[in-house]
Amino acid sequence: MNAPNITERQTRVGLVMGSSSDWPTMQFAADILGQFQIPFEAKVLSAHRMPDAMFDYASSALSRGLRAIIAGAGGAAHLPGMLAAKTIVPVYGVPVASKYMRG
């Protein structure tokens, strides 16, 4: 499989969270990507509530030009592992504190 041709403005990193309540933690990653002017997209994709959409996102990541995915979800942290199972793009998991667990 050949890697897609990348343009300067093309999204390079996917920032994925299980719900919008994870944004306060994931925003730190967005801030760093912005400081380095790395184009990224932010999406809410729940491993439990929308598994088909999550699998579609992961399986199309390389062909859409993503070079990395940063994923985090509070509670049961299945999101990074499930994304990694469906793509060859590196997936970096972020621990997200929840009401009962501290990430």
Q: Domain boundaries in the chain?
A: 17-95
Q: What is the reported pLDDT for 96?
A: 87
Tell me the fold of 17-95: Rossmann fold (3.40.50)
pLDDT along the chain (103 residues), means of 10: 52 93 94 95 92 96 97 84 96 82 52
Give the phi and the psi of residue 33 in degrees, each rounded to 5. -60, -40
Tell me the C-alpha to C-alpha distance, in Å, between residue 37 and each of 40, 53, 62, 85: 9, 27, 20, 28
Q: Name the helix (H) or strand (E) containing 55.
A: helix 51-59
Q: What is the reported pLDDT for 75?
A: 72
Residue 13, amino acid: V
Q: What's the full length of the chain, in residues? A: 103
On the 0-12 / 13-18 / 19+ scale of CB atoms within 10 A, 23 is middle
